[in-house]
Amino acid sequence: MTHGKLGETARARIVLEDGTIFYGRSFGAEGSSFGEIVFNTSLTGYQEILTDPSYAGQVVVLTASQVGNYGVSFEDDESERAWLSGLIVREHSRITSNFRSEKGLDAWLKERGIVAIDDVDTRALTRRIRDHGEQRVLLTTVSDASDEELVAQVRASTGLVGHDWISEVTRSQVGVWTPGYESSFAPRTLLDHEHQEPKAASLRVTAIDCGIKRNILRSLVQAGFSVHVVPARISPADILALEPHGLFLSNGPGDPAAAPWLVETVRELVLEHQLPTFGICLGHQILAQVFGAKTYKMAFGHHGGNHPVRDCRTGRIAITSQNHSFAVDEASLPSSVEVSHRNLNDGTIEGIRHRELSAWSIQHHPEAAPGPHDSLHHFAEWRSMLEALVAQTAAD
C-alpha cells in the first residue's frame, strides 16, 4: 500500500515493516534513519518532544496540523541533544513567528542530523499505527533503492523490545542540580501558590537518570529538594553514600524489562534498605518489577498531553502528559501493591503504591513539558511524605 507519489517535490519515503509506504517532502537532515514509529497528539511543545530522551530509538509522528511555526528557543530544551530517530509532520511551517525564537526548526534539525519529512497524510499514518500497532520504520531521502528493498531493510532492523536504551541515554557521572523554574514563563503551580521561588531545600533526594528531563529536575528543586543526579548504572552502595532521604526513578526510553540490572539496584534500595521511593513513567515500570510485577508492550502506547487519569483514592481526574509504549501488567501485581491511578481511556495502570513501604509511582509525567500542569502536585505530595517520615524518625 502506498500513499502519495515520489516526485520532484516529494522525494522522501516512510517505509513501515508491514510494507506500507508513505511519500513526503524532506526537511531537516538528509539521509536514512531507522526506528519504531509512534504518534504524539500534543498540539504544542515539539521542541520538548524532540529533546526528550524517552524518544530514543523512535520516529515520532506529530498529529498537529502545522509544526515549527514558533521556531526553537534553547531555553525549552529538555536535555542536551535531540534523541529521537526521526520526525514526521503534516506541514512544516517555513515561517517562524515568536519573539522567543532563536532558530527555525528546519535549521535546528539539520544541525542535529535528524531526518524529517512533511507533506504527509498524518491522519492516515496515525490511523495505520492505531489499527496495526507501533512498528519498525525507515525514513529516507535516498532515491536509488526500490520500495521492496527498503521494506526488507526495515524488517531486518531492530525494534524496542529487548533493547536496553537506558544505558545509552543516561549520564556518566554524579552531578548536583540546582536551578528551579528559571524561565519567566514557568507555571504557577501547586508547589507554591503565591510565588515561583523554590522552597528551602531541606530534603536530599537522589534521582537515577534513566533519561531524565530537565523540567523534572526543576520541579524537584521547586518543591524543596536538594537533588543529586546519578547514572543509571550506579551501585546501591554509592547511592546510600549520598545519604538521601528519598530515591527518585526517572522517565526513560525503551523496554523496561531489558534493564534487569536496574531492577536489582532498586530492589536492594527499596526492599532491603527501605529507602522511600517515587518513580515516574519508566521509573514506575522499574518499581513495579521490583515488587514482582511484569510489563508488556502496548499496541500503540500513550504519547501526548491529553490523557485523563483518575486518582483512585480521591476520585480526582487529571489531564496528563504521557510518553510510553510499555505498561504494567495488572494481573501480575502482588497483593502488597495497590493501584492508585488509572487511565480513563483504556483502563491501564497509571499509578501504584506499596501497602507497607514508602514506595509509589505514576505512569504519566507530572512535570508536563509539554502538557497540562494538573499533576505537578505530586512533587509537593512526595515532599510532604518525606517530611513526615523524617519527623517520625527524629521523634523515635
Q: Residue 226: enclosing H or E segment and its boundaries? A: strand 225-231
Predicted pLDDT of residue 89: 97
Q: Which three cell numbers stand for residue 57?
A: 530509538
Predicted pLDDT of residue 192: 47
The series of mean pLDDT values per 10 residues for the chain, 396 residues long, is 54 95 95 96 94 96 96 93 96 93 95 96 96 96 89 93 95 94 60 51 92 96 96 98 97 97 98 98 98 96 96 96 96 98 97 98 93 92 94 82
Model pTM above 0.85: yes
User: Is 182 labeled as catalytic in the residue annotation?
Assistant: no
DSSP string covering 59-81:
EEEE-SS-BSTT-B-GGG-SSSS
Predicted pLDDT of residue 202: 81
Strand 203-209 and strand 175-177: pairing? unpaired
How many other CB atoms sit within 10 Å of the CB of residue 117? 27
Measured between alpha carbons, how far is 14 from 353 in angstroms, rounded to an integer?
A: 42
Cis previous bond, 198, omega within 30: no
User: Is 367 labeled as catalytic in the residue annotation?
Assistant: yes
Predicted pLDDT of residue 355: 97
Predicted pLDDT of residue 187: 57
Predicted pLDDT of residue 392: 86
- The one catalytic residue among 281, 302, 324, 354: 281
Predicted pLDDT of residue 190: 45
User: Is 75 labeled as catalytic in the residue annotation?
Assistant: no
- The one catalytic residue among 302, 324, 365, 378: 365
Determine the angle formed by the axes of helices 260-267 and 282-290, rounding to 10 degrees. Answer: 70
Phi, psi of 363 (to 5 degrees): -80, -30
Secondary structure of 173-203 as H, E, C letters: CCEEECCCCCCCCCCCCCCCCCCCCCCCCCE
- The one catalytic residue among 350, 367, 373, 378: 367
